[in-house]
Amino acid sequence: MTDNELEDVLRRLRPAGPRPELRARIVASTGPRRAERAWPWGMAAAAMVLLTVTLQFSTARLNRETARVTSTSETGAADLAALRAALDDNELLIRQAELWTLQAQNALRTGSDPR
């Protein structure tokens, strides 16, 4: 079998394309439909960016607030040192006193009742 004979066989077995007027309709209909379907993806991407930025700002604010609430001031550290000396280094009493001190400091910061 020669190359020409092989090409003739393949040409007969090749699927036929659509008629020219149908091909024109198919090609013309693909353009606008793609553009119409692109905007939901753009809106979803914008929403994700907005959500990410909002969560980042909220997390940063919470981190600052947590650091502010949990940090002990210099007077608080001095109070704990004096309390530790007064309790004769009894670890259980010291931990309880530290807990009460932190609760009182948090109550003063938030303006709630320390009890």
User: Per residue in 61-92, pLDDT tens?
Assistant: 888 877 776 665 555 667 767 777 777 777 88
Is residue 97 a contact partner of residue 83, using CB atoms and an 8 Å limit?
yes
Asked whether residue 46 is domain-assigned, the answer is: no
Asked whether residue 4 is domain-assigned, the answer is: no
Residue at 99: amino acid letter: L
Give the number of domains in the chain. 1
Most confident region among 45-49, 56-60, 86-90 by mean pLDDT: 45-49
Asked whether residue 78 is domain-assigned, the answer is: yes
Provide the domain limits for residue 78: 72-115
The angle at the Cα of 62, spanning 61 to 65, to the nearest 5 degrees, equals 90
Higher pLDDT, 13 or 67: 13
Asked whether residue 26 is domain-assigned, the answer is: no
The model's pTM is 0.36
Most confident region among 34-38, 52-56, 99-103, 105-109 by mean pLDDT: 52-56
Question: What pLDDT, on a 0 to 100 scale, did the predictor assign at position 47?
Answer: 96
